[in-house]
A and B are shown apart, each in its own frame.
Chain A
């Protein structure tokens, strides 16, 4: 498989997942917007959504003035924002188009139609009352896309790059979603552990589509430590960090056996999963949830770069290494990479990241 194709598949998958996660964040915002709170706290809720989406740099207005309308506009429709739902569907479709022959007609249909339908949506109708519908529609696109992948793709390396991309993105999104709580203010007369605090945690669970699952698993009211346990450490939850990291490891391991080479990204994912298996919620709270999440977000980012470098689609294009014997398997070839920003493939990542 061509390195460029692997990169396109990885990013196609990330963008679909990202669109869905942005929709989940907005859904969290929509739900919090229905709770009683102060004006100041209300603005902080919306700005927390922008921060969690990683869009505080591109948000066109002062963050403290963020409101439902401006946040939805920026996170759904803004073409200048590479993480807006519109941009995500566009980039997913462009990545799919660039590797049309590496995916099935069903997967292409899913990516293509998501984009064509997205183009027909207007901010007037969405902000005029079809907000929740659009978020549901976005999630449905993700379901359809993953279903097509699961049901139709060969289990060749391309499939595993798609899965790795999906879970790297989800890992990132779940952490950002949890971090929303850090940025949200409690009303002055409320206290940590109080009713509003608890309801805010519930909204985060809901945005992760996990509130019912949480009750099934814990049979307990919403409590911060259990929410964190569920979304971070509990392998049962498909949106937990533990689950995502486990899936990344599984697919990277399969890539290792398919390509016959182990890379830096493999040691990184073993380390990350090891931490998620060993640590407890108490450890995390003792460290500070926000600080802990920030460190993991960076760790995940370095993992993504290591994956791209290992398979030749990263910023640092590996020097071509020719096998001594034609046809012989090249092990560790990409590892021997030296930084070469002028290599032809170097511009690709930039395009993908928009």
Chain B
């Protein structure tokens, strides 16, 4: 198990300042201040409701007060690897909905793409401005050793969590200004500006003046609503709901106190299915009737484009390294986790025989649901899961159980090592950019490898140090 702070009993240099600070301040004080941090989070209203669990709609994601640190050279690799990944995924999406060269070349099979539920026939033949489909892509990374990083999965639909990145930093710098006084920690607050710039860069052909931006939310009952409103606020754009928008004359409009005003670029935080009742789910109350027609004819740019989910499906994931080679002519800077596809007979046999050592996931699943972690399962659980795999092999993939790196985390009994992952957010406009930081999620239960917030994971401030 790789601890990011300690190596052979010694503290790694990038954690020096932090270790000294923890020593000085003491665990009791840290525990007291954690309560203070929680009160701050509740005050700003940064809460997270978990779908289907009921309970308190104002639940907080637990915040761990001990930051996670990356050195400049570690970050350099993460940055280059994430940008490379986002560029390849966007090239792939343009190819899927365009010429299909990668299929013609036999480098990626057609079937898992075009039979995928996330594939949108309505997008076929559409080239969005600057050729960008996934303007915001979250790349989930895990670490297993000093130089051993893997991409665990891609998030090309509407990846969430950026508000935590910014708010975690805000709370940390407010509570512990001395930690930042040396100027070693690179700031993350450029994100809203970076996103606004990228959105302006992809304004549609019909936009003649300064592009007008907006964020579309399903409404304040959505679990990520805080993030939607936080971003709208930080970017200084309207936060709209479906009922605020309508289409007319081939353009998208919002209802304002002055009458109708244009929307040129819409960052929509609702799923494809709900976007346009005329094009997709007719019963959707959240979307905007006719918006797909406007989009198709260049009247508005949708961020992200519909149909991007086809690139982050777990059955497509295994092909991303090949996409990087095919479109960019490069080798992956950060590799995939070795993955077995149960759709392949040999892989499936291997998976069924080694279930106790593997992590098996549903191809279309997300949020840490419907998976089994072999080493932590009982024989009965494995048997039941094996039956599910046999019934529908192509619905599952398997990966070795990775020993995720750990980061010191505050518990009632002092600092303990807990497993972490990292989600950097890659922004693509005419350029591809990244803020120095990302969302670190931490599995708060001892030994747990599941970091998803919907499964009781917490978050940490993530530091990238100056060179």
CA of A320 to CA of B226, assembled, Å? 29
Mark each residue of chain B from 245 to 289: 1 if its CB lies under 8 Å from any CB of chain A, else 0: 010110101111111101000000000000000000000010000
Contact A323 B259 (CB under 8 A): yes
Contact B260 A322 (CB under 8 A): yes
Contact A330 B226 (CB under 8 A): no
Residues on A with C-beta less than 8 A from B260 are 320-323, 330, 333
Contact A311 B243 (CB under 8 A): no
Contact A1 B257 (CB under 8 A): yes
Contact B220 A330 (CB under 8 A): no
Residues on A with C-beta less than 8 A from B243 are 4, 344-345, 348
Residues on A with C-beta less than 8 A from B262 are 326-327
A residues 296-312 near B (Cβ < 8 Å) are 311-312
Which residue in chain B gives the minimum CB-CB distance to A6?
B257
Mark each residue of chain B from 280 to 311: 1 if its CB lies under 8 Å from any CB of chain A, else 0: 00000100000000000000000000000000
B3 to chain A, nearest CB (A): 37
Residues on B with C-beta less than 8 A from A345 are 243-244, 255
Q: From B28-36, B231-239, B322-330, B451-459, give the one contacting chain A.
A: B231-239
Contact B258 A329 (CB under 8 A): yes
Is A260 engaged at the interface, CB distance under 8 Å to the other chain?
Answer: yes
CA of A320 to CA of B260, assembled, Å? 6
Is B104 engaged at the interface, CB distance under 8 Å to the other chain?
Answer: no
Contact B258 A261 (CB under 8 A): yes
A206 to chain B, nearest CB (A): 35
Is A2 engaged at the interface, CB distance under 8 Å to the other chain?
Answer: yes
CA of A259 to CA of B393, assembled, Å? 61
Residues on A with C-beta less than 8 A from B208 are 326
Mark each residue of chain A from 320 to 354: 1 if its CB lies under 8 Å from any CB of chain B, else 0: 11110011011001100000000011001000000
Which residue in chain A gives the minimum CB-CB distance to B58?
A116
CA of A334 to CA of B240, assembled, Å? 19
Which residue in chain A gives the minimum CB-CB distance to B234?
A101
- Indicate the size class of the contact surface on chain A: 35 or more
Residues on A with C-beta less than 8 A from B220 are 94, 97-98, 100
Is A230 engaged at the interface, CB distance under 8 Å to the other chain?
Answer: no
Contact A2 B45 (CB under 8 A): no
B46 to chain A, nearest CB (A): 10
Is A157 engaged at the interface, CB distance under 8 Å to the other chain?
Answer: yes
Q: Which of B45, B225, B251 has most A Cβ within 10 Å?
A: B45
Which of A97, A98, A312 touches B257 (beta carbons < 8 Å)? Answer: A312
Which of B238, B240, B241, B255 touches A320 (beta carbons < 8 Å)? Answer: B255
Which of B219, B240, B242, B249 touches A2 (beta carbons < 8 Å)? Answer: B240
| Interface SS of B by simple majority | mixed
Is A148 engaged at the interface, CB distance under 8 Å to the other chain?
Answer: no
B455 to chain A, nearest CB (A): 26
Contact A4 B253 (CB under 8 A): no
Residues on B with C-beta less than 8 A from A157 are 257
Which residue in chain B gives the minimum CB-CB distance to A259?
B258
CA of A330 to CA of B249, assembled, Å? 16
Q: With A97-B45, A109-B43, A322-B249 as known contacts, state yes or no: A334 contacts B241, CB within 8 Å.
A: no
Which residue in chain B gives the minimum CB-CB distance to A336?
B259
Contact A333 B259 (CB under 8 A): yes
CA of A312 to CA of B260, assembled, Å? 10
Is B2 engaged at the interface, CB distance under 8 Å to the other chain?
Answer: no
Is A289 engaged at the interface, CB distance under 8 Å to the other chain?
Answer: no
Is A255 engaged at the interface, CB distance under 8 Å to the other chain?
Answer: yes
CA of A272 to CA of B343, assembled, Å? 75
CA of A312 to CA of B261, assembled, Å? 13
Residues on A with C-beta less than 8 A from B209 are 326-327
Contact B257 A321 (CB under 8 A): no
Is B380 engaged at the interface, CB distance under 8 Å to the other chain?
Answer: no
Is B229 engaged at the interface, CB distance under 8 Å to the other chain?
Answer: yes
Is A217 engaged at the interface, CB distance under 8 Å to the other chain?
Answer: no
Contact A100 B257 (CB under 8 A): no
Is A35 engaged at the interface, CB distance under 8 Å to the other chain?
Answer: no
Contact B255 A2 (CB under 8 A): yes
CA of A330 to CA of B255, assembled, Å? 11
CA of A311 to CA of B244, assembled, Å? 13
Is A105 engaged at the interface, CB distance under 8 Å to the other chain?
Answer: yes
A residues 16-67 near B (Cβ < 8 Å) are none
Q: With A1-B257, A333-B259 as known contacts, state yes or no: A101 contacts B230, CB within 8 Å.
A: yes
Mark each residue of chain A from 98 to 109: 1 if its CB lies under 8 Å from any CB of chain B, else 0: 111100010011
Q: With A2-B244, A4-B243, A326-B262 as known contacts, state yes or no: A101 contacts B229, CB within 8 Å.
A: yes
Residues on B with C-beta less than 8 A from A311 are 257
Contact A260 B258 (CB under 8 A): yes
Contact A322 B248 (CB under 8 A): yes
Contact B43 A112 (CB under 8 A): yes
Is B105 engaged at the interface, CB distance under 8 Å to the other chain?
Answer: no
A208 to chain B, nearest CB (A): 32
CA of A143 to CA of B254, assembled, Å? 34
Which residue in chain B gives the minimum CB-CB distance to A332?
B259
Which of B45, B226, B255, B285 touches A4 (beta carbons < 8 Å)? Answer: B255
Which residue in chain B gives the minimum CB-CB distance to A95?
B220
CA of A86 to CA of B238, assembled, Å? 30
B253 to chain A, nearest CB (A): 6
Is B384 engaged at the interface, CB distance under 8 Å to the other chain?
Answer: no
Which residue in chain B gives the minimum CB-CB distance to A330?
B259
Q: With A4-B244, A98-B220, A112-B43 as known contacts, state yes or no: A326 contacts B257, CB within 8 Å.
A: no
Contact B248 A1 (CB under 8 A): no
CA of A108 to CA of B232, assembled, Å? 16
Is A3 engaged at the interface, CB distance under 8 Å to the other chain?
Answer: yes
A227 to chain B, nearest CB (A): 38
Known: A322-B249, A333-B258. 5 other contacts (CB 8 A): A2-B238, A3-B257, A4-B255, A330-B260, A345-B243
Which residues in B have some Cβ–Cβ distance to A below 8 Å?
A: 43-45, 208-209, 219-220, 225-226, 229-230, 232-233, 238-244, 246, 248-249, 251, 253-260, 262, 285
> Ordered nearest first, which 5 A-B pairs have the shortest CB separation?
A330-B259, A333-B259, A344-B243, A101-B233, A100-B229
A-B contact pairs, 27 of them (CB 8 A): A1-B238, A2-B238, A2-B257, A4-B241, A5-B238, A97-B225, A100-B226, A101-B229, A105-B44, A108-B44, A108-B45, A259-B257, A259-B258, A260-B258, A320-B246, A320-B253, A321-B259, A326-B251, A326-B262, A330-B258, A333-B258, A333-B260, A334-B259, A344-B242, A344-B285, A345-B244, A345-B255
